Structure 1
Amino acid sequence: MLKNYLKIAFRNLWKHKVFSFINIMGLTVGMSACFLIFLYVNFELSYDAFNSKADRIYRLVTDIKTPSETINTGVTSWAFAPSMKNDLPEVDAFTRVSGGSFLVRKGDVKFQEEKTVFADSSLFRVFDFKLIKGNPATALKDQLSLVFTEKAAKKYFGDADPIGQTLLLSGEGFPAIVTGIMKDIPENSQIKGDMFVSMSTLTQKFNKGLDEQWGNFGATTYLLLKPGTTGKALEKKLPEFLKNRAGKLMNELNMHYTLFLEPLRDVHLLSTRGSDEAGSMNNVYIFSVVAVFILLIACINFVNLTTARSVERAKEVGIRKVVGAPKWLIARQFISESILLCLIAFVFAIVLSAVLLPLFNNLSGKIISDGMLDNLPFVLGLLVASIVIGILAGIYPALVLSSFEPVVVLKGRFTTSFKGALLRKGLVAVQFAISIALIIATIVVYTQMDFMRNRDLGFSKDQMLIINSEGDPKKEAFKESLASLSGVKSTATSSSVPGSGNPGAYSEIENKSGDMQIANLDLYFVDFDYIPQFKLKMAAGRPFSREFGTDTTQAMVINEAAVKLFGYSSPEQAIGRRFKQWGREGKIVGVIKDFHFRALQEVIKPLTMRIEPRNTDLVSVKIDGGNIQGTIAAIESKWKSILPDRPFSYYFMDEFFDRQYRSEERFEKLFFNFAILAIFISCLGLLGLASYSTMQRTKEIGVRKVMGASIGSIVGLLSRDFLKLVLIAFVIASPVAYYGMYKWLQNFAYRTDIHWWIFLVAAFLSVAIAFITVSFQSIKAALMNPVKSLRSE
């Protein structure tokens, strides 16, 4: 019986090659897209799942309440975790991590290790980072202990054993010993680094006493709770812990802390406090819906094309029933054909997915998967899904075909029913409603990204070269040496540039009422050239000037957001007001206009600037665009002559700032590509139905041509019904797409509007795509010789 089913199925597939190709192609593309999206969604949902104790690991986060605002931050004070381990029995272990950058030297080999992580010795107890060599309990215990990943270790030692080897850290050349080699960190990990340095190096050598600083925030803290302890239960004890340990300090500073515990598995997608590996649950939901939509469109194609061909197989069904075949047996035959077609599509989908996987990894910006062999459970899942799709998508056509009355069909008087035609039209409308919604969404995503790329940021970033001196004492000499280069327009030094991040500083600034108002404000340390270098505009007062000797110790410049925070109705009112910040006191001498020193996803926050030459590690160089490579070579030559022990590296300001939008740009590219796939599958189905409709009306077309109908009128006749369906789909899709994209845009502090012309463009594109698809068959039919048309049976 099975052999007979397969034989009939293959005969029908071969007999109707065009329809079989369209069905298989649609299902193949739909399954491939769904499979790749599923890999992406699974990857995003699996962050930190490799940790065996993930259900007991929590990130400790803080709310800092000042008289001016409440700051929701993902970091903690350096003193919190060690004290919690001593005071709270629920805490099994803790580890703090903090990013850094080190100059590392081994003989003539030197690298600036940008992906350096300071970590407590308990790192390997809390997280499942596997050490290939070294003792996980002691590898990060002593000062100046280093642990490298496999990949990073090869840079310095090749195939030699690194354990016990000495490297020199920073410009001072501190001798550090390699105590461990760990497996390369999984891609889906919150903590990533190439070199791990013992936390005691930071807290006891570089910044002695840091462990006792309750008001110094900068550590990302993870707690491992004892079995049976929940985060919610421990959270209830944290207010009393803070009161006992830091109550006096909080009252003195008038800053009050509230601690919360975030489950490790929630940090990547659900936390609103940010992280180096922050993702978006909204994007996961969106791509999941898109995957379902694409697969739904492919299934609709199958149902439509199969039921549309029901007339051709009516006589076959009639004969089978006459010779005694029961209805269930006929239905099983057609369901078997449906499953076979889906299995063929499954094989092609696996091949296509394997080919597209490297491109998909590149588009997503992550190594979602190294190959299909790494995803055998998912491949098996797709196989099961293809069988289920075959059964579900084949049930309706099977029931329709098996219900034919043999007396009617064998007399040749059978035609497709009105209900069947109505169902096919409804399914086509659903297909194109989904496609139109994706077109509208794609245009909105593009306009938002274009808005972000082209918005006036309030500062100059073009042709700006940024070089990190890492605090080298010769940085000022290097900066001054660049003035003699013809390709250099200007230079400046600072602690931060827009997009690079900046510290928060405990500040007291005189408000409108004359009181000293406490706030935690972003702080830039700059030199006298910084404000003109970046073309920041003054709203009131003056910029820093060498003509005023007190500017190096007693002057501050703030932005307009800070003016509003302290209650002033105009920037001029803030000039001359007092400030206290990190041991400095003085007056506000200028107010700069707001500029976007953070990404456009965030509102512009209050910012302060002070002259502080010792903390200005970044050298920004404005260069001429005429001979960029020649200018960079000249700058590098100066660097090597003045700072020969440090590797020369740089980045361009515009590229660096735009990195903040990489996740949105990747979302844009992925969304665009999947929208194209959905439209392609819809067009395949429309092409198949148009082909079938044209074939059914062959004689009608011949008669019309004999009666003098023009090619244009015939094309219009054959296209009209389909275009009506597309317009109905547009009416359905527009409000749904508007609502969905309105919600998506709420994630951006600065966003574009959903303009009326977006819907006009979407309507035009959808009609044009449908018309071109249908016209391919319509024109072919209109050009057919009417003699052949009228002679056809």
Structure 2
Amino acid sequence: MFRNYLKIALRNLWRHRGFSFLNIMGLAIGMAAGFLILLYVVFELSYDGFHSKGDNIYRVVADIKTPSETIEADKPAWAVAKNLESQFGEIEAAVRIMNLEGVVRKDDIKYKEARTIAADSAFFEIFDFKLVQGNAANVLVEPYTMVLSETSATKYFGTQNPIGKTLLVSDNAFPVRVTGVMEDIPENSHIQGDMVLSMATFTQSLSPESDEQWGGYNPSAYILVNPNTDYQVLESKFPEFIERNTGDNQRESQMFVTLYLEPFKDVYLHSERGGNGDGSMSNVYIFSIVAVFILLIACINFINLTTARSVERAKEVGIRKVIGAERRQLGFQFIGESVIICLVAFVMATILTALFLPLFNDLAGKTVSDGIFSNPGYIGILLLISLGIGALAGMYPAFVLSSFRPVRVLKGSFSTGTQGTLLRKGLVIAQFTISIALIIGTIVIYDQMQFMRSQELGFNKEQTLILQTNVSPSQTSLKLALDNLPGVVSTSLGSAVPGGENSGAYSEIENKNGDMQVANLDAYFVDYDYMNQLGLKMVAGRGFSRDFVTDSTEAMVLNEKTVQLLGYSSPEDALGAKFDQWGRQGQIIGVVRNFHFKSLQQNIKPMTVRIEPNNTNLMAVKISPENSTQTVASIQDTWQTILPDQPFDYYFLDEFFDRQYRTEERFGNLFLNFAALAILISCLGLLGLAAYSTLQRKREIGIRKVLGSTVGGVVNLLSKDFLKLVGIAFLIAIPIAWFGMHYWLEDFAYRIEIQWWMFALAGGSALLIALLTVSFHAVKASLANPVKSLRTE
């Protein structure tokens, strides 16, 4: 009997090849898209989940309260981690991790290594980063030792055993001995690095006072607690710990610290303090919803087309019942045929997923999966979904068609009634509600990204190269040499550029009441040309000038945000105010207009600018757009002459600043592609239903044409019912899309307002897509010879 059912199912598929293709492809595309999103979501949720002690690891963070503000830092002071470990029995081990960037040399080969970290000796005890060579207990104990990843070991030493060999690290070229080799750190870890330098290099040799610093907030800190320790109870003991160790210093500096613990596995997706990569739980939620939507559209599509086409088999059901078929047998047949079709779609979905996975990895900006068969459990889930859809889609013909009396069916009086029609209309509305909501979301995301790219930033970032000089003694000579090159417009030195990391400086500045107000402010250290080169505008006072000798020792420029923080009613009122910052005293000589030195996802913060060329590690070189390639080559030649010990590396400021939006851009690109897939699946379903509707009404169309109906009249007849359904879907989609996009936009400090035209554009697009889809069959039917459709009447 099963063989007979299979034969009938295959015959029906082949007899209606076009319909079967639409049905299978719609479901296959939906399942493939859902599968890809599932891989992405599972990968994001898997971050830091491979550590066996992960449930007992916590990141130590700090709130730093000053009279001016509360800073939510993702790092504690240098001394915190070691003292926590020694003063609390609940803590088994502590590790500090600091990101580094510098030059690494082997013989005459120089590399600029951006993925280098320094870590305490407990690094491999706390985390499950696997060592291929070396002892986890001692590889990072001694100063000037390091562990290389397998990739780095191969890069520097090829097939040789690297253990015991030496690399020259940083601009000072101090020798570091390789004591271990580790497997490459997995991509789903928010701690990343290709080289791990011993923290003892700093705390025992380069900066031995670091362990006693309660005011410097550089390395991240993680602790491993005893099992069954309540971290909130432990956290409640930290205020007394801070008071005991540094209470007097806090009162003197007016900076009061509160320590908190973040569960390690929550850092990547749930922390709002930064230092966790590009994780966004909002994006995970949204993609999960999109996956459900796409699968729902594909299911609706399949069920709609299956139930619509099943009506044509009413006579077959009647004949089978006349010759003795039982209702149960007919039900099994229809469900079985539907399941077979779904299994074909499952196979196609698996193939599509395998084909598009590399492209999906590129769009996501990370390898979410090496291959679909690396996650066999997910394939099993997809198979179960396929079987479920097949069973669900087969239930309508199984229980409805098999219930009719054969006499009625064979007399030709069979009809599906209003219930079947309402079911299909409801499913079409659900499909297009989701599709229109996704179109609205795509428009909002695109407009937000355009807004961020076109927003006035307050500085000029065009045609500017950034070179990292690492505070080289020769950087002044390099600057003078580059100023004389053809194609170089100007040069300047700075400690940071917009979009990059900059220092926070403990500052005391005279406020409107004449008091010295304490604040920890973002600080830029620059030369005389920096502000002019970036096109920063003064709103009060003046900028730095070589005409004033004291500008290099006693002058400071504030931004407007700092003026507000100090309570002044206008920028002019702040001029002449006294300051004391990092041992430098003087007065405010000017106020610069607020500019976005961070992403537009963040509000502009108070900042200070001071002349201090000896504390600058970046050189900005503005070049002419003409012959830019030749100019860059000349800059490289000059660099290699003056700074031969450092590799030449540069980036353009505009590209560097825009990198801050790469997570949102990837999200937008993925959202756009999946929204397009959802619309495609909906159109496939609408195309199939339009074909079915046209087939059902072909005699009516023939009669209307004989009576003089035009092509437009026939198209209107067949299209208006579908367009009404799309219109209803549009009204339902509006509040759903508004709520979802309003939630997404809350992550941006500077954001667009959701406008009425976005909904109108989405609704118009959906109506146009639906009209074009339906019109394909409507025009074809209206141009057909009516004699053929009326021949049997």
Report TM bin, short chain.
Answer: over 0.9
Partner Cα separation in structure 2 for residue 688 and residue 173 of structure 1? 70
1:81-160 to 2 correspondence within 5 Å?
Answer: 81-160=81-160
| Deviations, residues 511-552 of structure 1 (Å, cap 9, x unaligned) | 111111111100111111010010000010111111111111
Partner Cα separation in structure 2 for residue 19 and residue 401 of structure 1? 20
1:97-496 to 2 correspondence within 5 Å?
Answer: 97-496=97-496
CA contact (8 A) 2:105 2:168 kept: yes
Q: Aligned letter for 1:16?
A: H
Post-superposition offset of 1:27: 0.7
Q: Aligned letter for 2:76?
A: T
| Deviations, residues 721-744 of structure 1 (Å, cap 9, x unaligned) | 111111111111112111211121
Partner Cα separation in structure 1 for residue 399 and residue 653 of structure 2? 64
Partner of 1:789: 789
Post-superposition offset of 1:471: 1.8
CA contact (8 A) 1:168 1:174 kept: yes
| Deviations, residues 251-283 of structure 1 (Å, cap 9, x unaligned) | 111111111111111111111111241411111
Partner Cα separation in structure 1 for residue 120 and residue 175 of structure 2? 19
Partner of 1:778: 778
Partner of 1:37: 37
1:584-599 to 2 correspondence within 5 Å?
Answer: 584-599=584-599
Partner Cα separation in structure 1 for residue 364 and residue 617 of structure 2? 33
Partner Cα separation in structure 1 for residue 510 and residue 128 of structure 2? 50
Tell me: CA distance 1:169–1:706, structure 2 relative to 1, closer, same or farther (3 Å). same
Deviates more, 1:36-45 or 1:223-232: 223-232
Q: Aligned letter for 2:371?
A: G
Partner of 2:697: 697
Tell me: CA distance 1:226–1:752, structure 2 relative to 1, closer, same or farther (3 Å). same
Post-superposition offset of 1:792: 4.9
| Deviations, residues 573-615 of structure 1 (Å, cap 9, x unaligned) | 1110011111111111110000000000000000111111111
Post-superposition offset of 1:634: 0.3
Partner Cα separation in structure 1 for residue 232 and residue 300 of structure 2? 47
Deviates more, 1:349-358 or 1:413-422: 413-422
3-state SS in 2 of match to 1:22: helix
Q: Aligned letter for 1:86?
A: S
Partner Cα separation in structure 1 for residue 328 and residue 285 of structure 2? 40
Partner of 2:641: 641
Partner of 1:651: 651
Post-superposition offset of 1:204: 2.6
Q: Aligned letter for 1:700?
A: E
1:590-739 to 2 correspondence within 5 Å?
Answer: 590-739=590-739
CA contact (8 A) 1:267 1:278 kept: no
Q: Aligned letter for 2:738?
A: Y
CA contact (8 A) 1:59 1:261 kept: yes
Q: Aligned letter for 2:142?
A: D
Q: Aligned letter for 1:151?
A: T
Deviates more, 1:227-236 or 1:642-651: 227-236
1:480-559 to 2 correspondence within 5 Å?
Answer: 480-559=480-559
Q: How many residues align?
A: 793
Q: Aligned letter for 2:706?
A: V
Post-superposition offset of 1:704: 1.0
Partner Cα separation in structure 2 for residue 154 and residue 248 of structure 1? 51
Partner Cα separation in structure 1 for residue 671 and residue 184 of structure 2? 31
Partner of 1:16: 16
3-state SS in 2 of match to 1:517: strand
3-state SS in 1 of match to 2:375: helix
| Deviations, residues 640-669 of structure 1 (Å, cap 9, x unaligned) | 000111110000000000000000000000
Q: Aligned letter for 1:536?
A: L
Partner Cα separation in structure 2 for residue 321 and residue 123 of structure 1? 74
Post-superposition offset of 1:553: 1.4
3-state SS in 2 of match to 1:292: helix
3-state SS in 2 of match to 1:576: coil
Post-superposition offset of 1:770: 0.3
Q: Where in structure 1 are there 5+ consecutive unaligned residues?
A: none
Post-superposition offset of 1:327: 2.5
Q: Where in structure 2 are there 5+ consecutive unaligned residues?
A: none
Deviates more, 1:153-162 or 1:626-635: 153-162
CA contact (8 A) 1:307 1:400 kept: no
Deviates more, 1:305-314 or 1:47-56: 305-314
Deviates more, 1:728-737 or 1:601-610: 728-737
Tell me: CA distance 1:276–1:477, structure 2 relative to 1, closer, same or farther (3 Å). farther
Q: Aligned letter for 2:485?
A: L
3-state SS in 1 of match to 2:476: helix
Partner Cα separation in structure 2 for residue 398 and residue 488 of structure 1? 78
Post-superposition offset of 1:406: 1.7
CA contact (8 A) 2:278 2:663 kept: no
Partner Cα separation in structure 2 for residue 61 and residue 792 of structure 1? 82
Post-superposition offset of 1:152: 1.4
Q: Aligned letter for 1:740?
A: G
CA contact (8 A) 2:99 2:219 kept: no
CA contact (8 A) 2:307 2:393 kept: no
CA contact (8 A) 2:719 2:778 kept: yes
Partner Cα separation in structure 2 for residue 369 and residue 691 of structure 1? 39
Partner Cα separation in structure 2 for residue 470 and residue 397 of structure 1? 74
Partner Cα separation in structure 2 for residue 559 and residue 483 of structure 1? 29
Partner Cα separation in structure 1 for residue 536 and residue 171 of structure 2? 33
| Deviations, residues 408-454 of structure 1 (Å, cap 9, x unaligned) | 11211112211211111111011111101100110000000000011
Partner Cα separation in structure 1 for residue 463 and residue 713 of structure 2? 58
CA contact (8 A) 1:495 1:618 kept: yes
Partner Cα separation in structure 1 for residue 28 and residue 276 of structure 2? 37
Partner of 2:49: 49
Partner of 2:79: 79
Partner Cα separation in structure 1 for residue 327 and residue 262 of structure 2? 58
3-state SS in 2 of match to 1:259: strand
Tell me: CA distance 1:692–1:396, structure 2 relative to 1, closer, same or farther (3 Å). same
